[in-house]
Structure formats: structure tokens, C-alpha cells
Structure 1
Amino acid sequence: MNHLINENGLSHSIVCDSAGTSSYHIGSAPDRRMSAAAFSKLGFKLQGRARQFSVSDFEDFDLILAMDKDNYADILAVDTSSKYHHKVKLMCDFCSRHTLKEVPDPYYGGAEGFNQVIDLLVDACEGLLKHVNTY
């Protein structure tokens, strides 16, 4: 998503960040297999370090995206007042070419699993960019 934001000259107006719902990868770089798939398919290296989703993210971001229904439920559980539920969506809601409703876990599908996730996320990110440009 950050690549698309930069490519479209929108980095001055759109902030995109990533966070997980569990704590076991905090501080880790992107998975080497996902990085390899992104570089192979898209030609760029994934950057960043893992952090855990926090309550302040509800205030800091206009939209919170979950990759699957379990993470969606975990995010909603952090919002005990239900004040921010309207900000939480599934990533695949923005897909136009793929029909999957959740991003599958690529970790047990070999290289093809990572390639499938890259294709799915490119579709979702392109749709998301169109969506945020309508605000």
C-alpha cells in the first residue's frame, strides 16, 4: 500500500501503517518468504518492523483493516466501547478481481501461498486507494 501511495504522489496526505493483533513478532522484519515474493512479483523490498495493534490506533487512523475474520474480531475486542467499530473493515472488502473474503495464511502453502497473498493484496490495495481517494 505504501508503494502505491508513494507512486501516486499521495504520501503527503495518506499515512499507512501495519500492526498485528498478537505480540509474538514485535520488532521483527517482514517474513523473508513474503519479502521474496514481493520482490519477485512487484520489484520492491518490504520494509518496517512488526508492532502490536493498540487502542491509540483507533484515534490515529481513519480506517483499520483486518486480514481475516479472526483478526477482525480481535481488533473489535480492543474497542470495548464500540466507539470505533465503524472504522474496522476486512482488507478483501476492497478487492475487485478476487473473490476471497479473507487473506489466507501463506505460511503453510509454500512459495505459491505467498504469491497468492501478494496478488490478493495488490488487488485490495488498488481498490483501497480508489476508496480513500473518494473521501
Structure 2
Amino acid sequence: MKNILFVCLGNICRSPAAEGIMNKILSDKQLTHKYTCDSAGTTGYHTGESADARMIAHAKKRNYDLTSRARQFDPSSDFEKFDYIITMDQHNYENVRDRNYDKQHHHKIHPMVSFCTKHQVDKVPDPYYGGAQGFERVLDILEDACHGLLKHMEDEN
């Protein structure tokens, strides 16, 4: 079983959406026996909270359930537990890498957009301060990247 962790800043928009999308893809393809998903934030601002209500609503329109609760990335356990640590933007990427002091787990850390096949973007933008269009754009990018990530993982096996 491979474990995937999606990481953004507060763990209420992008990373729980990526988790929900990937969980649905894995379920639809009957691959839940091979992969598990979780999400976390580099900060603890929203620990214990549900995903942002706007992200939940936009995801629901696409049949994704966002049920996780926000938690902060924990270097003391997450580096060991997860095989893939997928970050939403450069800041998250650097923050996670900086917490891997011995560099032993650097090979597990990847930018989400590196798995995009349709969208040519340099980050998954944070939709928190934007309108409805921002949430839809994030979901478009995440759907593309989640399919690309699954292909990558399946090709590795």
C-alpha cells in the first residue's frame, strides 16, 4: 500500500480538494486497496476545521466529498508514513523540504503541478481570497494533476 499526502498552507482548500479528488479516482478505478490519501497544511491555523465551505460546495458539484479535518504537517511522522508528499505551490514545497533536515525523504516531495498533463501552470493557486472562478480553476488543475499522479504511480509499480 502506498500512502499519499497532499499539502497546502492551511489545509482547508487545495489539499483537501486534492485528497477528495484522488479518493474518488481511486474508488472509481477500484484501486483503494493500493493507495491511501491524506492532507495537511504547513501551518496550524485551521487545525480541526472542515474544508472551506466554498470549496466543499464547488467540489460537491463534481461529485467529490471533502470530509477531512485540517491538520498541520508533522515532520516527525509524516516523512516516515507517506510515500508521496505532494505540495500545492513553491512556498509549500520549500517549507516541507526545509523540515526534512537530513534530506533523507527529499525524493518523496513533489510539486502537484509536475503531474499535470493538460494545464501548464507553475502552482495550484490558493482560491481562498478569490471568487467562484478561482475554486473552479483549482479543481480543474487538481483533476488533471491527480490523474497524472496516478499514472506516474502506476507506471512506477
Is this a same-fold pair by TM over 0.5? yes
Residue 66 of structure 1 and its aligned partner are, at CA, apart by 0.5
Q: Which residue of 2 aligns with 1:19?
A: 40
Residue 108 of structure 1 and its aligned partner are, at CA, apart by 2.1
Give the number of the structure whose residues are more often strand, by fraction.
2
- Separation in 2 of the partners of 1:54 and 1:109? 28
Q: Which residue of 2 aligns with 1:88?
A: 109
Give yes or no for the alignment of 1:54 onto 2:74.
yes
Q: Which residue of 2 aligns with 1:119?
A: 140
Equivalent residues, number: 134
Match runs of 1:23-42 below 5 Å:
23-40=44-61, 42=62
What amino acid maps onto 1:95 in structure 2?
C
Deviations 1:91-121 (A, max 9, x none): 0000000001200011122000000000000
- Separation in 1 of the partners of 2:34 and 2:90? 29
Residue 47 of structure 1 and its aligned partner are, at CA, apart by 1.1
- Separation in 1 of the partners of 2:144 and 2:151? 11
Residue identity (%): 48
Query: SS of 1:118's equivalent?
Result: helix
- Separation in 2 of the partners of 1:44 and 1:121? 12
Give yes or no for the alignment of 1:97 onto 2:107.
no
Q: Which runs of 5+ in 2 are unaligned?
A: 1-21
Q: Which runs of 5+ in 1 are unaligned?
A: none
- Separation in 1 of the partners of 2:44 and 2:90? 18
- Separation in 1 of the partners of 2:86 and 2:133? 24
Query: SS of 1:18's equivalent?
Result: strand
- Pairwise CA RMSD of aligned residues? 0.9
- Separation in 2 of the partners of 1:96 and 1:30? 26
Structure 1: 4+ residue segments shifted above 3 A: none
